[in-house]
A = this chain, B = another copy of it.
Amino acid sequence: MAMKKLLNKPEDIASELLSGLVKSHSDLIKMVDNDLLVRKMPKLEGKVPIVFGQGIGHEPAFDGMIGYGMHDVEVPGNIFSCAGGDRIYAGIKYAWELSGKTPVLLIISNHEGDVINANIALEMAEDDDIDVKSVLLYDDIASAPKGEEENRRGMAGMIFGFKAAGAMAELGYDRDEIIAKVEKINATTRTLSVAVSPATIPTSGQVLFNLKEDEIIIGPGVHGEAGPEGPMKLSTANEIIEIVADRVVEDGEFQSGDEVLVLLNGNGATTLMELFIMYNHLEDLLKDKGLKAFKPLIGNYVTVQEMAGFSLSMCKADENTKQFWTAKTVTPYFKVFGS
């Protein structure tokens, strides 16, 4: 299937996308030198600035989540590819200087390119005596077995960590406290994705994978990386969410009595209608396991272009985690709970 999208020249996709995002939210974000996306109104000096670098093409993640209570500096790469180490370094330096030399937190999504470039940036910052530490996020249970969690990919569940980090920074926690909490949240975060139809790389039109009309894939990555098991037959919404929920709960060792954060994320072309239909059953499944969903988030947050499908993310929610989850955010696209 050829790509059928509303685009101009492939080589302009990244710049036009970011320019359109900034133009349409010029009250909240701006672009500064070296194509860094930053908050229009910076965080107060002395509060930990948060830097994140990632490929684009997953909108609204994560270029649409800059602002009060989330990221301060976003270093956009190209479509599906991370920014280079020198640009991530530039993002760290910008945050360091703007914040009056407040210790900087760099968040890294666990993908090979992201980690390599983040390490280059961290070395450059060290050479310049910039005080920056990083925290690595990973949550995709399909990408490495239990016991090898640190080899898992960063997926939609990273939002739990982002949200806590952003909230804690606004509240004035210091960097080590933020890192400790985010690592604790990450340790209980689990995500599993399902692809119902494939996506294309917009710059090339290349289809990421093929799927028969009666097949789905459990466990694809956010760039269409194949799942570990190959295709399975499409069945009902209830059966599929049950498979996914069972695996997430088992891998995460969620226990009866736990309160959990739940993100039911649309991968792109799946309707909110379908997500609601699955959530309708998911809540019952969780109840049967003695789990209570706290302020679930349902919608398209981390997308893979026009891929149909979804991912389920969960993490354990203690009182602090719940407080940070519902703390105020002012960003173009991160949902504000009841405010």
Contact = CB atoms under 8 A, between A and B. Distances in A.
Contact of A299 (B202, B274, B306, B333): B333
Contacts of A299: 333
Interface of A: 1-2, 4-8, 13, 16-21, 23-24, 27-28, 56-57, 59-60, 64, 196-197, 202, 213, 234, 236-238, 240-241, 264, 268-281, 283, 295-296, 298-300, 303, 305-306, 308, 310, 330, 333, 336, 338-339
Which of A13, A276, A280: most chain B Cβ within 10 A? A276
A279 B24 contact: yes
A8 B234 CA distance: 11
9 contacts: A5-B274, A8-B238, A13-B273, A18-B276, A19-B280, A20-B280, A24-B276, A272-B303, A336-B339
A2 B215 CA distance: 12
Instruction: Name the prevailing secondary structure of the A interface residues.
Output: mixed
B6 A283 contact: no
A295 to B, nearest CB: 7
A8 B213 contact: no
Contact of A280 (B23, B300, B308): B23
Tally of this chain's copies: 2
Contacts of A18: 276
A276 B213 CA distance: 31
Contact of A23 (B5, B16, B279, B306): B279
Given A20-B280, A237-B6, A280-B16, A271 B303 contact: yes
Contacts of A279: 20, 23-24
A59 B276 CA distance: 10
Nearest to A41: B338
